[in-house]
Structure 1
Amino acid sequence: MIAEQAVLGSMLKENYLIVESNLLASQFTDPTNRTIFQSMMELRIAGKAVDLVTLLTTYSPQDLGGANYVNDLTNYAHIDKFDDHVGVMLDIWREREKKNVLHVSMHEDWSIDRITIELAALTDHRVSDHSDIQSMLVDVYEDPFVEKDITDGAPSGIDRLDEMTNGFQDGELIVLAARPSMGKSDVMLHIAKQAGWKGYVPMIFSLEMSATSLRDRLIASTGRFSRSRMRDPYHMLTDHQKENWSKVIGLVSETKIQIFDRSRQTVPEMRMKIRKMMSEQNGLKPLILIDYLTLIHSDENKHNMHLQVSSITKELKAMAREFNCPVITLAQLSRAVEQRQDKRPMMADLRESGSIEEDADVIVFLYRDAYYSKDDADNGMELIVAKNRNGPVGTAITCYNKFTGEVLNRETSSEGVIV
């Protein structure tokens, strides 16, 4: 177990590596090395130095393999190759856990989907859903004393919305709901573009609209081209717009958006596609977007829509946690909103609202006065954050051009748009 000894030796020399490694004691194969690592963790959380003397005077040397064994660990230390040694160690751990998963699955007759999920989970450092409070406290022990970069979530490109949510967070289920033709798909594409330009890889599961339709919408909103003219760019775009065409294509390309447009997709199918893409692209930061919730196919509870939606939302929330990324799904509102004088949506307007309201971390409603007044000069759009599990609720005001699909933070000139 030379890799384990090299890891422990490096930690003895540089104590910060105990935290940086993100390792668990259970990931050490050798019982003695496991005990040494656990002892290091305990000393670190107690605010003590982790060195030879402290280890041997705080714990029984016999439990640590003896004084000579602990002392010799520093001979294996190689700080520059620390990550390589951790990698070797984790490869051994994963192989051990893989054999265990296959053994248990055979005796307990697991489904293929469960086996796949369990094996995919081994790409993470965590061996199970168990968290030791000491390990968790180590992660935050130095927070008041060492300045850290605050990591924002996936951006929406709408400043006020990002202020409320701090960006869409990993592991969260976000529901974006509105009446038909309110602009849901365009807001979804706007979020996908903004996140793509910030380094995320947006994956759109379009259960209603074709990939080519989404492509054309992306081009139109980015280039401020009227969608009606996108049907025949050769004859209908102006010379100025044609000059900008290649630049717009380049900008859309930089989003790295991936589109899966087969209808009647199930959540397990989506998971399989996400997992495959993540395995193909190391370092992938995924953002999952689904258009839309009630078009997701499920073989369960076919005759009870409420139970079916409840099952799907729970699966989507589990998917967000499994891949540690934001999952944004569009949803339709019921016709009840049309019968009120104030037609701004409320929670009760969500179709099958109980399960959606329970499972979603963030719920955002879209509302446009112009949708009802038919006033083409009114480009205001409200994004009403009705639920925000980890932050404030409120309303973000933005501008929406229904001819191009462009979403803007504030009113700007629509020069160049030909309707």
Structure 2
Amino acid sequence: MTHLAEKAFLGSLMKSEYLLKDTVVQPGQLESTRHQALMRKMVEYQLAGKHIDLITLTTLPNLESFGGMSYLSELITHADLEKFESIEKLLLDLWKEREKRSILTLASVNDWEIERVSGELDKISHLQMDNHTSIQRALMTIYEAPWENLPLNNGISTGFKELDEITGGFQEGEVTIIAARPSMGKTDVMLHFAKVIGWAGYLPLIFSLEMPEKLVTSRLVASTGGFNRGKMRDPKQRLSQRQKDSWAAILGNLTHTNIQIFDGAGQTIPEIRANTRKMIHQYPQRKPVVFIDYLSLIHTGHTKGGNPHQQITEVSKSLKTMAKDFNCPVICLAQLNRSVESRADKRPMMSDIRESGSVEQDADVILFLYRERYYDKSSMNFSLDFIISKNRNGPVGTVSVKYNEHTGEIVEKNESDLPQASDARDEEIDKQEGN
């Protein structure tokens, strides 16, 4: 199959030599050494201003090494200009497979580290050639738009109507940064989004670089069941009988989210990409959504003492590339620096993000989290504010939701009961039951 495809490719180049300037296939990506040498000669002739048709190629000084006049004539018979793009793609796919096998062989012989193997395979897998769209093709996709009932929000819902209205939800190929001071509620927000997205039929992939899987799972159970997180340290002793009775249903409900947790410390972008790709193959019916906790903990592979700004810049750009390559949303948490604490107005701003320049440039959406009770424990304001400071494809603004810092529950503002109130009821029931 490879040999025939290469014949069709070279024959097409000879028949319509303009294709040589446009093709994305390089001589070294052909399998046959004879075909590689012939294509190099074609490139050489074209650069010299010569034609690469059958007549000109018959003047090659060592014509017999290319199969002679008869072989060049045979190549012409295999030309297929209508299927040229498909032939290019086939040749690249076959080359990728050969390269992958070669990399695995080298890795085995030279005992490469898994990170290097993953990185090299990733480079091959994501070499793209189909990134071109003509205006005619682009316009055809929206030709019926004025007469079609298109959904108002084609993104993945955040679970909050007002936030969806402003941001459009999480969009494929986009990076969302959720930034806040420590203990403001970043992880609870991430887990809430992951649950909502999972229940909606997507595949939430959580890369927890700081918190171990057991603690992530514990938080998921607490927020879903409305349990005070302190009780999760010893459920047998601390949960009320009513809470124990609901335990199985809560776990069953969480099972349906299909959340996947990767909790290795110091994970790199190539490792995150490799695991994402593995999950895509394992769950082909579910669209992935990547969550990373958090930005500055992503390992770049550089030795200690490297420039932090350069490292964050590298990671930030890699996140955007990953979102585009996998055509999925990437949601990454980020810490704010201490400068916010020195201001009278504690509401965060863009400059509060550590190494903010590259993050601000690469992110499509930036959400800051702010809670009044974080700074004033006596406040009865249980709101959590999403401050939308950057929205590449829409407006900015602020959306408030209700947040229970004890359980991690987050609900819409218009829901009748405050999460704090439900937690207080549980505590009162516990006292009555003697727990």
TM-score, reference length from structure 1? 0.73
1:316 equivalenced with 2:319 (yes/no):
yes
Give the drift of 1:387. Answer: 0.2
Report how far residue 149 of structure 1 moved. 4.3
**Alignment correspondent of 2:226:** 224
Q: 2:91 aligns with which of 90, 93, 96?
A: 96
Matched letter for residue 249 of structure 1: L
Name the counterpart of 1:395. Answer: 398
For residues 229 and 210 of structure 1, do their structure 2 counterparts lie closer, same or farther at Cα, with a shift above 3 Å needed?
Answer: same
1:235 Cα deviation after fit: 1.4
1:170 maps to 2:165: no
* Structure 2 residues without counterparts, runs of 5 or longer: 2-8, 17-84, 107-115, 428-435
Task: Answer whether contact 2:340 2:348 (CA < 8 A) is retained.
Answer: yes
Q: Residue 320 of structure 2 aligns to which amino acid in structure 1?
A: K
1:247 aligns to what? 249
Residue 338 of structure 2 corresponds to which residue in structure 1? Answer: 335
Contact residue 225 and residue 416 of structure 1 kept, 8 A: no
CA distance in 1, matches of 2:392, 2:224: 32
Name the residue aligned to 2:137.
135
* In 2: Cα distance, 1:104 partner to 1:407 partner: 48
Partner deviation per Cα, 1:198-226 (whole Å, 9 max, x = no partner): 11110000000011101010000001000
SS in 1 for 2:227: coil
Structure 1: gaps spanning 5 or more residues: 2-27, 36-88
Matches within 5 A, 1:365-384: 365-375=368-378, 377-384=380-387
| CA apart distance, 1:102 | 5.9
CA change 1:117–1:140 in 2 (3 A) is: farther
CA distance in 1, matches of 2:408, 2:379: 14
Mark the CA change 1:217 to 1:199 in structure 2 (over 3 Å): closer, same or farther: same
Aligned counterparts of 1:279 and 1:236: Cα–Cα separation in 2: 41
Q: Work out the percentage of aligned pairs sharing the same amino acid.
A: 46
Q: Matches of 2:215 and 2:126 in 1, distance apart?
A: 35
Q: CA deviation at 1:120?
A: 3.4
What amino acid sits opposite 1:120 in the alignment?
A: S
Matches within 5 A, 1:348-367: 348-367=351-370
Deviation by residue 1:139-176 (Cα, 9 ceiling, x = unmatched): 22222233344553222112211111111100001000
Match of residue 258 from structure 1: 260
Contact 1:241/1:416, CA 8 A, preserved across alignment: no
Task: Please give the alpha-carbon distance, in whole angstroms, between the structure 2 residues aligned to 1:319 and 1:162.
Answer: 23
- The residue type equivalent to 1:387 in the other structure is K
Tell me how many residue pairs correspond in the alignment: 333
CA distance, structure 2, for counterparts of residue 252 and residue 184 of structure 1: 20
What is the CA–CA distance in structure 2 between the aligned matches of 1:97 and 1:218, rounded to whole Å? Answer: 44
Distance 1:396 1:193, change over 3 A: same
User: Secondary structure of the residue that 1:144 maps to in structure 2?
Assistant: helix
Q: What's the offset of the Cα at 1:416?
A: 4.7
The residue type paired with residue 97 of structure 1 is: L
**Which residue of structure 2 aligns with residue 346 of structure 1?**
349
User: CA–CA distance in 2 between the matches of 1:321 and 1:168?
Assistant: 13
Quick one: distance in 2 between partners of 1:247 and 1:357?
42
Listed as ranges, the matches of 1:6-155 within 5 Å are: 95-101=90-96, 116-117=121-122, 120-121=125-126, 127-149=129-151, 152-155=154-157
Q: Secondary structure at the match of 2:147?
A: coil
1:362 to 1:143, Cα distance in 2 relative to 1, 3 A: same
Report the alpha carbon displacement of residue 119 of structure 1 after superposing the two structures with TM.
Answer: 5.0
Q: RMSD in angstroms over aligned alpha carbons? A: 3.0
Identify which of 397, 405, 409 aligns with 2:408.
Answer: 405
More off after superposition, 274-283 vs 363-372: 274-283
**8 Å CA contact 2:118, 2:271 repeated in 1:** no
Task: Give the drift of 1:231.
Answer: 1.1
Supply the distance in 1 between the matched residues of 2:160 and 2:342 (Cα, whole angstroms): 30
Tell me the distance in 2 between the aligned counterparts of 1:312 and 1:118: 16
Counterpart secondary structure, 2:320? helix
**Contact 2:316–2:358 at 8 Å: present in 1 too?**
yes
Code of the residue aligned with 1:252 in structure 2: it is L
Q: TM-score, normalised by structure 2?
A: 0.70
CA distance in 2, matches of 1:112, 1:234: 45
1-structure distance, mates of 2:135, 2:118: 31
Partner deviation per Cα, 1:62-89 (whole Å, 9 max, x = no partner): xxxxxxxxxxxxxxxxxxxxxxxxxxx9
1:385 equivalent in alignment to 2:380: no
Query: Counterparts of 1:344 and 1:154 in 2: how far apart (Å)?
Result: 27
- Which residue pairs with 2:112 in the alignment? none
CA distance in structure 2 between the partners assigned to 1:115 and 1:127 by the alignment = 18
Aligned residue among 192, 195, 213 for 2:194: 192
What's 1:202 paired with?
204
Instruction: Please tell me the residue identity of whatever aligns with 1:98.
Output: D
